């Protein structure tokens, strides 16, 4: 996978969404986002809808966590807490949730809530701006493969891929500046 665009933004989430067929199985895993050194870690967190995320404060300072829905602009403040304390939140709606702290305006992270259990989160290499990914245990069927990046768009939109039984396939999506994203390679 190749990316053109801002060098410092290396985190991407690659998602396979089943075309038609049954609903994907519900989320079974938990995830966490720490507050450490006045930074949310990780900066980008991909989770399946229905996943509970634990927000643990590792700092001496108090931190607040509030969410800004990137699509609707809705906000939700889940509170302010001190060192060693964690608060859980379950994400029930797919979309990009910008995570912020009212006490430290420089703190920001992205929670990418997807419908599908078949996704992977990777960091692109800083110099080549390429990355490799593998999504395992995907049931046979047709899928839309899409790549999330906070500033870039996938060139040509989601790619349709067909997954066969016991078969591996290769896809090479390109993410690029929004204004070039419509052109298909």
Residues engaged in binding Cu ion (CB under 5 A): 63, 101, 103-104, 107
In the complex, minimum distance from the CB of residue 101 to Cu ion, in angstroms, rounded to a whole number: 3
Give Cα 139 to chain centroid, integer Å: 21
Choice between 40 and 143, CB closer to Cu ion: 40
Which one, 36 or 93, has the nearer CB to Cu ion?
Answer: 36
Using Cβ positions, the residue closest to Cu ion within the complex turns out to be 101
In the complex, minimum distance from the CB of residue 33 to Cu ion, in angstroms, rounded to a whole number? 12
3-state secondary structure at position 63: strand
Structure-block tokens of residue 52 = 């509970």
Reduced to 3 states, what is the DSSP secondary structure of residue 143?
Answer: strand
Give least dist CB 51 to Cu ion, A: 23
83 versus 130: smaller Cβ distance to Cu ion: 83
Give 87 or 107: the residue with its C-beta nearer to Cu ion.
107
CA distance 67 to 73: 9
Q: How far is the CB of 14 from Cu ion (least distance, A)?
A: 30
Q: Given the structure tokens 């994203």, which residue do they identify?
A: 181
């Amino acid at each position: 996978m190749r990316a053109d665009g801002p060098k410092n933004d290396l985190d991407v989430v690659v998602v396979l969404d089943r075309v038609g067929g049954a609903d994907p199985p519900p989320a079974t895993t938990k995830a966490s986002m720490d507050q450490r050194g006045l930074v949310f870690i990780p900066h980008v967190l991909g989770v399946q809808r229905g996943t509970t995320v634990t927000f643990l404060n590792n700092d001496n300072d108090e931190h607040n966590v509030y969410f800004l829905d990137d699509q609707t602009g809705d906000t939700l403040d889940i509170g302010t807490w001190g060192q060693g304390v964690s608060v859980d939140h379950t994400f029930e709606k797919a979309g990009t949730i910008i995570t912020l702290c009212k006490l430290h305006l420089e703190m920001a992270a992205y929670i990418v809530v997807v419908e599908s259990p078949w996704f992977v989160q990777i960091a692109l290499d800083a110099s080549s701006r390429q990355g490799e990914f593998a999504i395992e245990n995907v049931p046979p069927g047709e899928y839309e493969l899409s790549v999330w990046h906070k500033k870039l768009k996938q060139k040509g939109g989601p790619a349709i891929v067909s997954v066969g039984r016991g078969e591996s396939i290769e896809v090479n999506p390109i993410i690029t500046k929004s204004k070039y994203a419509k052109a298909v390679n």
